[in-house]
Structure 1
Amino acid sequence: MPQTTALLFVRPGKPPLTNPLYKAVSALNRVVSFDPLTGTQLNAFLQKRAKDNGIVLDESAANRMIAFLGSDLGALENTLLMLGAYVGFGNRVTIKAVDACVRPPSEAKVFSIMDDLWSGRKKDGMRALLELVNDPSENAMGLATLFSRNVRNVLNVKQCLLGGKTEAQTAQLLGMKPYPVQKAAASAKKRSYAQLVEMLDAFIAIEWNQKQGLAKAEDSLVLACQEHF
């Protein structure tokens, strides 16, 4: 292999330390890992780009942008420039400006709704759900996938807990971060394994019902949440 050869691996999570190829390359002491920025690193990135472009960015506004856009640096920088133009030169970019200009992703909306439903705030959760499914820019089938993914995570955590795993062991086993596992564990303790399986089946059936002409996806989604929370 020529000395100028560069191998690029794109994968989520930590590198596969036990993989024979990775071990062989690592032995050459030339492995560089470029992990996505997180937390304070993302905030620092935004503050630096804001300073470079003459934009005054509130830390709370930066955190809101990160909550909406995640670790996509391109999206964060483009949105920052848009917000700078929106507030005008010399004015501060605040949370209010972010909320006015940046649309939270569907994942964030679904997470908020499910948090309400799992926590027993059914009235608030159902109200937000109805607003979401009636939003013409949203796709009910796509939303159903996000809801079923949430329930599947809770079910997977439930299986681990029933198997005697701790939350830390569960996070490692499932490749999840500690906080989502903590939230899923709290939800899992409120339902039996059979109830969670039935709930997941209801969300999975939404796509089938739509394709078979049995029910619209948005109606099935609302019904599944109404019946299982």
Structure 2
Amino acid sequence: MIEIKNLNKIYLKGKKNMVHALNNINLKIDDRETVAIIGESGAGKSTLLHIMSCIDNFDGEYYLDNIDINKLSESKKSKLRSSKIGIVLQDFALIDDFTVFENVMTPLYFNKKIKDKKGSVMRALKKTGIASLKSKKVSQLSGGQKQRVAISRALVTSPEYIFADEPTGSLDSKTSDEIIKMLFELNSNGITIVIVTHNLEIANQCHHIIEIKDGNIIKDICS
């Protein structure tokens, strides 16, 4: 479960060009939900997702499975990410000169708990339907295939949460539908999915919709 209380994010704090990106955010996300975070560009959606992913600092309270994130050191946050969290980005954030297998392997270099690393990579690739591409370099792949690699990488540590930032933003409609279907299938297997999206069709498929405007939550609706 995710619980956030009076969360603020300020960039360039104390300076003339200070930006208050998030203002007193309060929200709760239950286990196994699918959640859409919607709003215009610059509203604070990605900032909130990055905070929930434990890759950005903040003021306020954030509890992930009753763990007080603001009290964790950077090394403990890193361990938490490698054990509980998978992250999928719009631009894929893959290493083009690495193979599919090598890209999916990268989170496991920091995970001492998973002993069968090669087996974990292959299981993730099979779940996303790209095991046959394991030896291809990422630079040779289509956009949809790259996003499947990114999802495989997010899955390889068997996370409880996947945070996806515009996962279909650079994909055609057919490939977008395939990626969203895949994320919802992962949710049916017990993973909590949080998606930043501009696509209202995707948002309306989710259990929970959070709308942000100018750093404030203006709607928080659960179906």
Please classify the TM superposition score into its range, dividing by the shorter chain length: under 0.3
The higher relative CO (CA closer than 8 Å, separation ≥ 6) is in 2
User: Whose strand fraction is larger, Structure 1's or Structure 2's?
Assistant: 2
TM-score by length of structure 2 reads 0.22
TM score, norm. by length of structure 1: 0.22
Hey, which of these two has a bigger chunk of helix by percent?
1
